[in-house]
Amino acid sequence: MKKTLLSGLALAALGTSVWSCASTSQTPVATTTPTETAPAAATPSWSQQADDFLKSYSAEYQRLYTQSSEAEWRSNTHIVPGDTTNAGATTRANERMAAFTGSTANIQRLREFLDHKSELNDIQIKQLQTALYNAANSPQTIADVVKARIKAEAAQTEKLYGFDYKYQGKSVTTNDLDELLRKEKSPAKRQQIWEASKAIGPTLKEGLLNLRDLRNQTVQALGYPDYFTYQASDYGMTREEMMALVRKINDELRPLYRELHTYARYELAKKYGVKQVPDYLPASWLPNRWGQDWSAMVDVKGLNLDPILAKKGAEWQVKQAERFYQSLGFQALPASFWEKSSLYPLPAGATYKKNNHASAWHMDLNQDVRSLMSVEGNTEWYETTHHELGHIYYYLTYSNPDVPLLLRQGANRGYHEAMGSLMGLAATQKPFLAGLGLVDAKTQTDQTQTLLKEALNYAVFIPFASGVMSEWENSFYADKLPADQLNAKWWALAKQYQGIVPPTTRGEQYLDPATKTHINDDPAQYYDYALSYVILFQLHDHIAKKILKQDPHATNYYGSKEVGQFLADIMRPGASKDWRTVLKDKTGEDLSARAMVDYFQPLMAYLKQQNKGRKYTM
């Protein structure tokens, strides 16, 4: 197969000379007289050449992409400590993919086409730019570096998801630790649980530092100064522009976060029996390993779904999420989704591990879609299943004949997360839940407490995503943060943006940022999630007010074909339309935190009343 691939690339790289050679090899037709010269065949236009190149390129890209996806899937769903079989297979598949996308011949040809932009249409240009962007991730001009990076990333994945977490001498999963952090009331035990969740950090330090160098070197070969800049460019933005945008979003949400932070310090001190309220939140006090979601602090009476969902079971949750999308007009999921996905925790006694972090997979850039989850019967997984199926339906919707294979992705990376999170929000509002019979419509619920719980999820996430994660990775990749300052920088940012401090001194023998999976295997793009929340609230605001004519705090999307059409219209073009244009056309607004601020505005009066007389430290 390698020979066929190289022959195809060589043909594409030769360009016009191939066409000339083909035309002159033909035997002259009988009507040509001895004194006449046969007219040379016209050289195909740049547009025609681009079409031919992209057709060949896309077919090979899809084949290799599918092979790589299958290998990655195996590496994430069947982890056997000490067994390098999957890592080896993944490395080989990714090396083949890298050799193609980063081929020197492809890079030269792509640049040649883009030098003739004026003779190409917008869709051709978008595909060529996407292919060149992909090439920068694995340029074969530095093949040894790319090969080393692929091997290092496979090894890091094995360490990341094969780690044996221990608490009180017993092996536990990250699901177990999360559950303990949501429920444990003893500060001392909470600290032990939190520290157990951070034990993996030192194991990942050497590999992460190595990957930092390899990732930077890879993209520098095509002119990007660093890996963070490379990732930001996918939005059509410079690194500085991206950081300015996420800082602006953080500033817009800061007044609300300041109230939530003050509220949480006093309420958690009361809950844990601590008389001296700390100026900053100990990380171990919070119901999330990174302090990115505090919603478990609040139980809204009448909306406690855990007992009901536990009885319904894990499978019901995934099937119900599918029924929701079908009610909007989307098709049933392909049978292969149910056959090939890994949706539930491994059975007790399993001889292998799996990645417990929820994810959605587009295996072949067509109809083979899968999800990797560990669904259990609780509210968190109920929301997550709706979120992950949002990705899945996005994949399926833009996998249509009008969207070229290379543009089968979200309008930008944040759109994918926005679509998933939007559906997670919709599925947890009271009218929606009442419609499903999960709560009694007559049950009196406290709207303020509901809004507080939502704010402790969505608003609390912004300073973590746009502040701590984005600032740390920007410093790590672009500023070459020294190896002896990694943990100190992390906690300085956590204090600055989240008002969170570690429960005890965390020196450089630890690597707490690496305990966040994205730092290792989805690097330098966590701002996607912050932007996705802004987009989510813009879309929700439009759906509630303009389509459903309902209060944004109490909507029911279920069964609305008009909502489904609105969402499908955003999903269908994939990346074939500019993301700014899509947002402005569908909502009438440019990207702004306006809708998110408005949504939580009714909560501000309550929080200020609760915090009256309390000390603000942010």
The residues spanned by each domain of the chain are 1-11+45-163, 239-610
Say what the pLDDT of residue 443 is: 86
How far separated are the first and last CA of the chain, in Å rounded?
60
| 3 state DSSP class of 362 | strand
Q: At what angle do helices 239-271 and 447-462 cross, to 10 degrees?
A: 130
Amino acid residing at 492: A
Say what the pLDDT of residue 151 is: 92
Q: At what angle do helices 239-271 and 527-542 cross, to 10 degrees?
A: 80
Gyration radius of the chain's alpha carbons: 26
CATH 1.10.1370.30 fits 239-610, yes or no: yes
Tokens representing residue 545 in the block? 């007010």
Check: CB of residue 554 under 8 Å from CB of residue 431.
yes
Count the Cβ atoms, other than its own, within 10 Å of residue 409: 20
d(CA 599, CA 610): 19
Closest to 544 measured CA to CA, from 433, 381, 432: 432
Sign of the CA dihedral running 447, 448, 450, 451: positive
Q: H or E segment at 372?
A: strand 369-372
Say what the pLDDT of residue 303 is: 80
Residue keyed to tokens 């605001």: 541
Say what the pLDDT of residue 102 is: 95
Alpha helices in 173-289 (DSSP H): 174-183, 187-197, 201-220, 227-232, 239-271
Q: H or E segment at 312?
A: helix 306-312
Closest to 113 measured CA to CA, from 101, 129, 99: 129
- Taking 3-state DSSP, the helix, strand and coil percentages for the chain, each rounded to the nearest 5, stand at 65, 5, 35
Sign of the CA dihedral running 218, 220, 223, 226: positive
Q: Give 10-residue mean pLDDT values along the chain (618 residues).
A: 27 27 32 50 91 98 97 93 87 92 96 97 97 95 94 91 93 92 95 97 97 98 97 96 96 97 98 97 97 94 89 96 98 98 94 90 98 94 96 98 98 95 94 94 89 95 97 98 98 98 97 96 95 96 98 97 98 96 94 94 97 97
Q: For 216-244, give the secondary structure using H, E and C.
A: HHHHHCCCCCCHHHHHHHHHCCCHHHHHH
Say what the pLDDT of residue 158 is: 87
Tokens representing residue 168 in the block? 């009180």
The pTM of the full predicted model, rounded to 2 decimals, is 0.85
Judge residue 327's burial from the number of C-beta atoms within 10 Å of its C-beta, 0-12 exposed, 13-18 middle, 19 or more buried. middle
d(CA 22, CA 14): 12
Say what the pLDDT of residue 29 is: 37
d(CA 353, CA 346): 7
DSSP 26-88: SPPPTT--TT--PPPPPPPPHHHHHHHHHHHHHHHHHHHHHHHHHHHHHHHH-B-TT--HHHH
